[in-house]
Amino acid sequence: MKENNKFKVLFKTNKNSFMPFFTLGDPDFESSFNLIKSAIDAGADCLELGIPFSDPIADGPTNQRSMERALRAGMNFESCLKLIRKIRDYAPSLPMGLLLYYNMIYHRGLEQSLKDLAVAGVDAIVCGDLPIEEGELFDQLCEKNKIAPVYIIAPNTPDLRALEIFKKSSDAYAYILSGLGVTGVKDQVAPETILRVQHLRKLDPSARMMVGFGISKPEQVKIIWEAGANGAIVGSYFSNLIEKNLGDLNKAQNLIKKFIEEL
């Protein structure tokens, strides 16, 4: 992986990073671009983008409905590539990670899919259903296409396995789950999440960690930063804003901007 990988550049210059998540095409192609653009304009440090899928096993009800809206609007892999290219053209230097399910790129053709995603401008990919034991070919093709593979560390991941995941995810970041279960808004950061992040930081002081699932408030993001993570990911909160303001997406854009500007 080249040293100019956008996530490596980000973590060299930015101690605390914020990564909003958006489902590509929610609620439609153009509206999705405008919503993501509002997050970029507000100062998001990087993006996590999700390709809508009919069986999103790691996502809770809010993000499931977000993906359903995108699918109903006609989004598919090809239109997602088009939207990614449009986002990349708008923000040439912004790190972009992709959250998807392995079945999608395996079914389409792994090598061609990763090549197309790299050309579109994707810097990193996390497959929510791909364990490290099954990721050898994925890792090889990611390296070939200069995409950083990202793997997930759960609350019950043993230390030795966490160290292996840190190594495999070293070109971008390891995805740290804030708790067991699926995505969704939570009222507070659990004490065990803070202890977990602190423990992982001691386990590997140089690891790059982005914490996701359940984070929905600026003060929660700050708690995650203070615990020792490099960044925090917020997704369901934004999906919920979109859902509640489908009749007035300008309001959703303004609320997204307000959230990010506060950070």
Point out the least confidently predicted range of 61-65, 176-180, 215-219: 176-180
Asked whether the predicted pLDDT for residue 110 surpasses 90, the reply is: yes
Q: Using the structure block, give the residue that is written with the tokens 């069986």.
A: 55
- Report, as an integer, the average pLDDT of 157-166: 97
> What 3-state DSSP class applies to 190?
coil
Q: Is the Cα torsion angle 128, 48, 259, 191 positive or negative in sign?
A: positive
Q: Are 101 and 128 in contact (CB under 8 A)?
A: yes
Active-site residue among 26, 45, 59, 123? 59
Q: Are 181 and 61 in contact (CB under 8 A)?
A: no
CA dist 93 to 45, 113, 148, Å? 10, 22, 16
41 among known catalytic residues: no
Cα dihedral 82→83→87→93 (10° resolution): -50
**The pLDDT of residue 64:** 84
Asked whether the predicted pLDDT for residue 216 surpasses 90, the reply is: no
Could you report the per-residue pLDDT of 81-102, keeping only the tens digit for each?
Answer: 999 999 999 999 999 999 999 9
pTM: 0.93
The reply to whether CATH 3.20.20.70 applies to domain 17-262 is yes
59 among known catalytic residues: yes
**The pLDDT of residue 59:** 66
Split at pLDDT 50, 70, 90, the class of 116 is very high
Active-site residue among 26, 45, 48, 171? 48
Q: Are 252 and 35 in contact (CB under 8 A)?
A: yes
Split at pLDDT 50, 70, 90, the class of 215 is confident
Q: Are 189 and 220 in contact (CB under 8 A)?
A: yes
